[in-house]
Amino acid sequence: MTEAATEALSVVVERDIPHPPEKIWRALTQPHLIEAWLMKSDFKPAVDHRFNFTADWGAVDCKVLTVEPHRTLSYTWTAHGLESVVTWTLTPTGTGTHLRMEQLGFRPDQRQAYQGARHGWPQFFAKLETVLEREG
């Protein structure tokens, strides 16, 4: 393992959400719901599917890596020189779901992207929870 690889930073956000994994999975995989809490996309939950997230500041190029319905979803996240992987893990609990998101792959010289993700993901999670409430 190279020294640079051992220094890669990750952003992790975890929440206990009072909704079943199936409902959260829909919010993570259906484009109209993704747009409501994250960004506009042409996402499909199919391994090797290439898609983009688009926002007023630009676009993120992505490719689906893992799809285990209601359990695990991962995809590459490439934008502005950042090459990372976002992994969602859904674990059923007695009251709903423990949702974990990890974005791994920030190099030490990508402090701005890292700080942006550290501040951005909790905001996205808050929007996701609002969407889940609204979708009843």
First to last CA, the chain: 46
3-state secondary structure of 42: coil
Q: Characterize 102-126 residue by residue with b for buried, 16 or more Cβ atoms within 10 angstroms of its Cβ, and e for exposed.
A: bbebbbeebeebbeebeeebeeebe
pLDDT, mean of residues 5-33: 93
Nearest to 4 by CA among 77, 82, 105: 105
Give me the helices (H) in 11-71, please: 21-29, 31-37
Domain containing 30 equals 3-134
The whole-angstrom separation of Cα 65 and Cα 127 is: 24
- pTM value is 0.92
Total number of domains constituting the chain:
1
The whole-angstrom separation of Cα 99 and Cα 13 is: 8
pLDDT in tens, 77-121: 999 899 999 999 999 999 999 999 999 999 999 999 999 999 999
Where do we find the tokens 């640079």? 4
58, exposed or middle or buried, with CB in 10 Å at 0-12, 13-18, 19+? exposed
CATH code at position 54? 3.30.530.20
Check pLDDT > 50 for residue 3.
Answer: no
Spacing of C-alpha 32 from chain mean position: 15
